[in-house]
Amino acid sequence: MNEQEELKQLDNRVDIIEKQIAIMNERYSNMDELIKQNISVLSKLQDAFQDNRLAMQAMTNSIETSGKEIAGMKKDISSLKEERNLNIMSWLKNNFISIATLLAFVGYIVQK
């Protein structure tokens, strides 16, 4: 082989390498863009998970508060029922003589 052929072969190899470098640079640019998009998506996903976690904590607190309020309402209702029963019993005790007199009078009228 003479020098011109060797230079031509070398020139061809350099051309091939330059084409490969251009392809590699393009691939690098595409990969770099994909990685940036991936990072952006992951960041948004992380924010969404954080918001979801905060919402779940708020819901848990709300449920706990509601449970306590319901227990308090049950206690209040029980207290009102007892108070009503006590008021009826108290009224009967206070008005026993009047009630007994009224019943006796009604019984007397019914017998006649």
**Model confidence, pTM:** 0.46
CB of 71 closer than 8 Å to CB of 64? no
**Nearest-10 crossing angle of helices 3-94, 96-111:** 60
Question: Is residue 103 pLDDT above 90, yes or no?
Answer: no
Confidence category of residue 86, pLDDT binned at 50, 70, 90: confident
Rounded CA gap, 51 and 48, in Å?
5
Rounded CA gap, 72 and 70, in Å?
5
> Apex CA 98: angle with CA 95 and CA 103, to 5°?
120
Q: 24-61 pLDDT, tens per residue?
A: 988 888 898 999 999 999 999 999 999 999 999 999 99
Confidence category of residue 94, pLDDT binned at 50, 70, 90: confident
